[in-house]
Amino acid sequence: MMQMTAVDAVMRTLADPTRRAVFERIVKSEEITVAELTRGSGVTQSAISQHLRSLKAAGLIADRPEGRNVHYRADPKGLAPLVDWMALYGVFWRGRFSNLRTLLKEIDP
């Protein structure tokens, strides 16, 4: 089997809608505990914990234990492999250079 790269891990981890929802809630909070994440989620605490382990393994979140609680926060570097993967295709710049081509034709037909 091929070795998992960082982008594989990020994509695989975020492909699960529940896990992605957990990640989105963590991103929106400065820091959040597993109990707070479970509340109102409709998912058991053990399921949330499982998702947190996956998110942490993929480098998407970091944790900070404090007494009996563990606080989770998003790791800003976590999404970098995904952003870099998308940027590889240079879509943004190709689009802009297409605009530039049009503009040049307009001012210098």
- Which residues here bind another protein, judged by CB under 8 A? 5-6, 27, 76-77, 80-81, 84, 87-88, 90, 93-94, 96-97, 99-104, 107-108
* Smaller CB separation from another protein, 53 or 92: 92
Type of residue at 64 = R
Taking the alpha carbons of 16, 20, 21, 22 in that order, is the dihedral positive or negative? positive
We find the least distance from the C-beta atom of residue 70 to another protein, in angstroms, to be 22
* Smaller CB separation from another protein, 14 or 81: 81
Q: Which residues have C-beta within 8 Å of that of residue 77, sequence separation ≥ 6?
A: 59
